[in-house]
Amino acid sequence: MNISLSKEEQIKYSRSLSLKGFGAEAQLKLKNASVLVIGAGGLGCPALLYLTTAGVGVIGIADGDVVSLTNLPRQVLYDINHVGQKKAEVARRILTNKNPSVNIQIYPDFITPENCLPITENYDVIIDASDNFETRYLLNDACVILNKPLIYAALHEFEGQISVFNHKNGPTLRCLFPEIPKTGTINNCADTGVLSVLPGLIGVWQAQEAVKIITGIGEVLNGKLLVYNSLYNEVNVISFELNEANKQFRNLNHLINKKYEEIDASTLHKLLEKDHIQVVDVREPDEFDVENVGGLNIPLVELSHRFKELNIKKRTVVICQSGKRSLVAVDLIKKQYPDIEICHLKGGLNNYLL
């Protein structure tokens, strides 16, 4: 544990040190703290930037995705030269240049029930900057088991929301939203879009909540969901209570379900050479036109109305840009045709077209 700030740090953080109610004691708490950010995308980029420049001692970045062209308008750490590179690796290089005294640890993989606890247990505060419900509930339950505060945020079109779960024995995600929404009932930003500046606002808000938790200043959004409408500058705060039944997790076995088969890029390449498969690309037509590997282009939002176009006698590989929409599509197809032989491309075309 560090017991003092260096002379360079005293100069660097002088504006914070002179802040009434903050000072050297709070800055030292930041230096001795660790924060894990799950997702280095629209929310994660601004959160990471400000946590780094604020002087948090150790920052972890967990993201298995690569930078794509569609990321650039809202994921402000990256530029055109980073397309195709691992987000976690690019982020570490950029953030280290921003503040070399911060220890940046990376986990260039997606969070799963198998790796979640070993990674999150090493950090004081967890920030959920993911973009899918499975990861959100996984992080929530892991933080309950490990007794860690979780800073949650989500985006939808022009609206953002943020809360703090499991802080000082406070309510959890499941106290607000008890169950994971059924596949396809709620779309993510890849399907419905999101205003490009909104992730910046909400991601910085997440960083602010982390700073408050670490330093003990102010009030955090514990038991409160803040909903921000960027079109009309409206802010609503919804209070919710702890349900003790949501604190009873001892492991993550309830989240380890039977997984659909997934294949990697090299396996897909071999299958395409044999031409014995049916490829279903569930991206939007404009994405498909930019780059594709052939096959049927059926956007995810249209899939349930176009099942008849599928040849259910052929082995089917579902693909998208990052592997997230394709997993939803596999679930929908499997429910319609339980006997179909189906899999999806892990990591999507981001990994295949490197």
Q: Which of 224, 255, 286 is the last residue of a domain?
A: 255
- Per DSSP (E only), the strands in the chain are 34-38, 58-62, 103-107, 125-128, 150-156, 159-165, 224-229, 234-239, 262-263, 277-281, 296-297, 315-319, 342-345
CB atoms near residue 308 (< 10 Å): 6
Whichever domain contains 325, its CATH number is: 3.40.250.10
Q: Which of 208, 236, 255 is the last residue of a domain?
A: 255
d(CA 194, CA 196): 6
Q: 11 lies in a domain? A: no
Return the pLDDT at 42.
Answer: 95
Helices (H), 152-194: 173-176, 189-192
Beta-carbon contacts of 156 under 8 Å, excluding residues fewer than 6 positions away, are 189, 192, 194
pTM: 0.77
Return the pLDDT at 196.
Answer: 86
> 279 and 247, same structural domain?
no
> 188 and 146, same structural domain?
yes
> 53 and 157, same structural domain?
yes
Helical (H) or strand (E) element with 139? helix 133-146
> 194 and 170, same structural domain?
yes
> 230 and 94, same structural domain?
yes
What 8-state DSSP symbol labels residue 4? Answer: S
> 326 and 211, same structural domain?
no
Return the pLDDT at 258.
Answer: 44
Q: In sequence order, what are the beta bridge partners of 62? A: 38, 107
> 295 and 212, same structural domain?
no
> 147 and 62, same structural domain?
yes
Q: pLDDT per position in the chain (354 positions), as tens? A: 778 899 999 999 999 999 999 999 999 999 999 999 999 999 999 999 999 999 999 999 999 888 988 899 999 999 999 998 999 999 999 999 999 999 999 999 888 888 999 999 999 999 999 988 889 999 999 999 999 999 999 998 899 999 999 999 999 999 999 887 755 445 555 555 678 899 999 999 999 999 999 999 999 999 999 999 999 999 999 999 999 999 988 888 777 654 557 888 878 888 888 767 999 999 999 889 988 999 999 999 899 899 999 999 999 999 998 887 888 899 889 888 988 999 999 888 887 765
Domain with 326 in it:
262-352
Whichever domain contains 161, its CATH number is: 3.40.50.720
CA-based end-to-end distance of the chain: 41
Select from 127, 170, 114 the least CA-distant residue to 147: 170
Select from 41, 340, 307 the least CA-distant residue to 184: 307
- Coil, helix or strand at residue 120: helix
Structural domain count, the chain: 2
> 289 and 167, same structural domain?
no
